């Protein structure tokens, strides 16, 4: 199970500033190795993570599992959107939610990415996350994104 860290009430002038913040915060939390901040920046430069959804955009920065000590998610809802390069072209997109993934198991990373994409495709889910009170954001993310798969019915 991933630890969930949430931050609201913060602004970044660039995506690089956001990534530097993520790197330093995750180091401070002890969930990543010293190599993580640089690896995160390099991965974003080569494989941008800005994703346009129906009404908003998100970024899902991450890097190779070797840089993780333990699984975590750092959910950031900045006060103003941050320009990230789109994953599917060279344009920038204004991101309203940053979901940094720290995964130590590559197959778990793929499963989590699929779940995120599936849930975030629902405009209601993202609207709810963006509109939630600061003190409800973590619980709402847990309920909508991190909930375990339902058990198969016999």
Query: Which residues participate in catalysis according to the annotation?
Result: 62
CA dist 117 to 33, 97, 112, 121, 125, Å?
27, 13, 9, 6, 11
- Angle, to 10 degrees, between the axis of helix 15-29 and the axis of helix 36-46? 150
Q: What angle do CA 42, 47, 49 make, to 5 degrees?
A: 105
* Residue 36 vs residues 32, 33, 72, 94, 133: alpha-carbon distances, Å: 6, 6, 13, 25, 30
Q: Which of 10, 94, 105 is nearest to 64 (CA)?
A: 105
């Amino acid at each position: 199970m991933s630890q969930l860290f949430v931050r609201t009430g913060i602004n970044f002038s660039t995506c690089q500033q956001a990534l530097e913040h993520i790197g330093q915060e995750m180091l401070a939390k002890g969930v990543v190795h010293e190599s993580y901040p640089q690896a995160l920046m390099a991965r974003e430069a080569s494989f941008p993570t800005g994703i346009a959804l129906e009404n908003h955009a998100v970024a899902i920065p991450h890097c190779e599992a070797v840089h993780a000590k333990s699984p975590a998610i750092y959910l950031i809802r900045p006060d103003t959107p941050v320009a990230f390069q789109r994953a599917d072209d060279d344009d920038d997109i204004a991101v309203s939610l940053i979901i940094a993934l720290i995964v130590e198991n590559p197959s778990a990373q793929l499963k989590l990415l699929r779940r995120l994409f599936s849930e975030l495709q629902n405009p209601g889910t993202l609207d709810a996350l963006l509109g939630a009170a600061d003190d409800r954001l973590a619980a709402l993310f847990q309920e909508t994104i991190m909930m375990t798969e339902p058990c198969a019915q016999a």
